[in-house]
Amino acid sequence: MKTPQVALQYQDKSNVEDTIQAFPLVKSKWPGPLGIYPEAGRRDYLQAFADPNVENPHSTDEYVKIARDWVVNGVQVIGGCCGIGLNYIVLTSNGGCAWPGF
């Protein structure tokens, strides 16, 4: 049995705005599966704990809307780094970001 070869272009560690801007170029140059893993753009994420008094630039609802657009445009894997935590990721899977046909 031949082992399948899988390659994934994964755009990561850019803030949400930069990711939104770069995505069309990445999609135009990469024919395979796509993943996106943006960070929140916070300045305190290198500290032991994020400042609970500082909000992320994007709410969870905004992130779900943005993620839904990525899915509609072909992204198969959505994650988050540095400020985009589990509370964001859970909502992308439960908030209407399922792939068409699922």
Confidence of residue 101 (pLDDT cuts 50, 70, 90): very low
Q: What is the pLDDT of residues 37-84, one digit of tens each?
A: 898 888 776 677 778 888 889 999 999 999 999 989 988 888 888 888
Higher pLDDT, 46 or 14: 14
Burial letters 1-38, b for 16+ CB under 10 A, else e: eeeeeeeebbbeebbbeebeeebeeebeeeeeebebbb
User: Cα torsion for 5, 20, 85, 89, to the nearest 10°?
Assistant: -60
Give backbone dihedrals phi and psi of 86, rounded to 5 degrees, phi first: -55, -35
Higher pLDDT, 13 or 57: 57
pTM for the whole structure: 0.77
Which amino acid is it at 48?
A
Domain coordinates in residue numbering, the chain: 9-94
